[in-house]
A = this chain, B = another copy of it.
Amino acid sequence: MRDDPTHLAEQVSSVLRHLVLLLRRTVAGQPVTSQQYGVLGSLEGGPRRMTELAEEHAVQLPTMTVQINRLEDAGLVTRGSDPADARVRTVELTSEGRARLRAVRQARVAHLTRELAALTEQERETLAAALPVLAKLGRL
């Protein structure tokens, strides 16, 4: 019974709700929203095109357009063009955007680090082992 996939699903389902709340608290009151943070993170490795960003964040293109508009208004990213294809808009971090990303990441990780520090060494190991499995779940 303990290994019944349905039973496990029920547990996962309930734990997931808790984690959503945890995530919400983790980013509460920071100078960018959780989504904005995610988009900035996608830009860290260099310019990206709109379609890539939308796909990576599992949203429709118009949704990403609005997000990028806001980030652009805030001076955190700039739009550019692909010289090889005039249909394509590229998006790039400004230096201010890069600084903001670093700051938010630092705060976010610090918050989680504090939570993790309250666990035992063994619990942290159990958690670390499960992370790849969870990541796989999310990608199915």
Q: Is A74 on the interface with B (CB-CB < 8 A)?
A: no
Q: Are A123 and B136 in contact (CB under 8 A)?
A: yes
Residue of A20, A121, A135, A139 contacting most chain B CB atoms (<10 Å): A20
Q: Could you say which residues of chain B place their CB within 8 Å of the CB of A19?
A: 16, 19, 134, 137-138
Q: Whole-angstrom distance from the CB of A24 to the nearest CB of chain B?
A: 7
Q: Are A3 and B124 in contact (CB under 8 A)?
A: yes
30 A-B contacts (beta carbon < 8 Å):
A3-B121, A3-B125, A5-B124, A6-B109, A8-B116, A9-B115, A11-B128, A11-B131, A12-B116, A12-B131, A13-B109, A14-B135, A15-B131, A15-B135, A16-B23, A16-B26, A17-B38, A18-B134, A18-B135, A18-B137, A18-B138, A19-B19, A19-B134, A22-B137, A116-B137, A119-B133, A119-B136, A123-B133, A123-B136, A130-B134
14 more CB-based (< 8 A) A-B contacts, given A19-B134, A22-B137: A2-B128, A3-B124, A5-B116, A5-B124, A6-B113, A8-B116, A11-B131, A17-B38, A18-B138, A20-B23, A25-B58, A118-B140, A127-B137, A129-B129
